[in-house]
């Protein structure tokens, strides 16, 4: 009888603890699975786990999507320029499917006025049925039963306690200006001398045989048809402001060395032509802006640029000098190819070797 009594006590205590744990996560909800941020204390820093909750529950009528090329944008600058309320839904090294998944969630029960899309061409030359990293289904779907993976997850409990600690300390919830932004952690990485030295070593490699120019076209077509154009077509009243970010000249040099340059440029032309058929798309390119892409002081590596460039992009959106149209897209591609062909990288890189 005593054994039975203790068994009941233990089971009751265990059930009580489980209920408390479930209630704790349900109330705190660090990944916004059930509601938006409740007051202070929330750190928006885990895009894979927090983006679906943001897309479901936050108040917004515009979204910024993209890769690490977009993470240093300040959504307040978009808000001020376009009179919207923007959330940041970026993913580091995103594949095209990442955009499809998060946009399906963000636009499910909401009329989006604008989508600001920082579009990396590399995301189109990945398998159309893959995301860059595995996504936790229990946060992205609408099934209640698999929420046990959220409410009874020791890692989530740790996040609950972090939120409570930050609340107690009066630390405000991360703004979308700062969400996912990486610059402050990499200030010291903006070292142009080191960047030049590294590229000089890369250029000592023997260039690979160039790939056929249509090498990436099948993947680009699959991604367009499965992950990109359906998002645009399914929301004809949403304005998609799409822009190609300015990779440094070293990006194109590396693609030349790897033998992928012609195939990348051909795929970008193919993608551009498809986007230009859509009435609800405005397309801009900052890839052929020589004073940016050839100024290596603006880069921490061959692709990632200073936040000043993010602000410049917002400022210049709408300017016809950067707009890509049916009438000028081949000219803009030609300008990029001219910069790639005519830039004397030996001279450019050497000029940075004496920088203190």
pLDDT tens figures, 275-328: 999 999 999 999 999 999 999 999 999 999 999 999 999 999 999 999 999 999
Any idea of the CA torsion for 160, 166, 168, 172, to the nearest 10 degrees? -120
Q: Cα 170 from chain centroid?
A: 29
**What global pTM score does this model have?**
0.94
Closest by CA position to 135, among listed 181, 167, 175, 89: 89
Give the per-residue pLDDT at 210.
97
Dihedral over Cα of 247, 252, 254, 255: its sign: positive
> Taking 70 as the threshold, does the pLDDT of residue 8 lie above it?
no
Phi, psi of 45 (to 5 degrees): -145, 0
pLDDT tens figures, 32-79: 999 999 899 999 999 999 999 999 999 999 999 999 999 999 999 999
> What is the C-alpha separation between 296 and 282, in angstroms, rounded?
28
> Taking 60 as the threshold, does the pLDDT of residue 9 lie above it?
no
Contact 62, 114 (CB under 8 A): yes
pLDDT tens figures, 208-248: 999 999 999 999 999 999 999 999 999 999 999 999 999 99
Closest by CA position to 287, among listed 258, 311, 265: 265
> What is the C-alpha separation between 322 and 281, in angstroms, rounded?
14
> Taking 70 as the threshold, does the pLDDT of residue 7 lie above it?
no
| Farthest CA pair distance, the chain | 90
Contact 52, 141 (CB under 8 A): no
């Amino acid at each position: 009888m005593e054994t039975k009594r203790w068994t009941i006590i233990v089971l009751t205590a265990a059930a009580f603890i489980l209920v408390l744990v479930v209630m704790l996560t349900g109330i705190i909800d660090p990944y916004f699975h059930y509601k938006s941020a409740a007051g202070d204390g929330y750190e928006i820093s885990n895009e894979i786990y927090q983006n679906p909750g943001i897309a479901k529950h936050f108040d917004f009528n515009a979204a910024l999507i993209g890769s690490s090329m977009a993470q240093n944008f300040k959504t307040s600058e978009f808000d001020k320029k376009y009179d919207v309320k923007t959330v940041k839904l970026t993913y580091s090294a995103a594949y095209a499917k990442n955009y499809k998944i998060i946009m399906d969630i963000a636009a499910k029960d909401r009329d989006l006025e604008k989508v600001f899309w920082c579009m990396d061409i590399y995301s189109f030359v990945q398998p159309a049925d893959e995301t860059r990293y595995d996504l936790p289904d229990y946060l992205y779907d609408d099934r209640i039963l698999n929420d046990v993976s959220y409410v009874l997850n020791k890692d989530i409990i740790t996040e609950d306690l972090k939120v409570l600690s930050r609340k107690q300390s009066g630390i405000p919830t991360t703004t979308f200006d700062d969400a996912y932004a990486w610059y402050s952690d990499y200030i010291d990485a903006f070292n142009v001398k080191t960047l030049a030295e590294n590229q000089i070593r890369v250029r000592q490699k023997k260039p690979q045989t160039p790939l056929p120019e249509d090498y990436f076209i099948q993947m680009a077509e699959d991604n367009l048809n499965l992950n990109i154009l359906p998002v645009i077509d399914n929301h004809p009243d949403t304005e998609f402001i799409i822009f190609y970010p300015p990779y440094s000249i070293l990006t194109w040099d590396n693609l030349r060395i790897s033998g992928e340059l012609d195939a990348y440029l051909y795929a970008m032309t193919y993608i551009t032509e498809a986007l230009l058929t859509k009435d609800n798309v405005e397309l801009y390119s900052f890839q052929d802006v020589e004073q940016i892409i050839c100024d290596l002081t603006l880069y921490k590596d061959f692709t990632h640029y200073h936040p000043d460039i993010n602000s410049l992009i917002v400022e210049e959106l709408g300017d016809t000098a950067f707009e890509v149209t049916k009438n000028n897209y081949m000219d803009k591609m030609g300008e990029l190819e001219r910069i790639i062909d005519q830039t004397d990288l030996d001279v450019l890189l050497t000029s940075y070797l004496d920088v203190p």
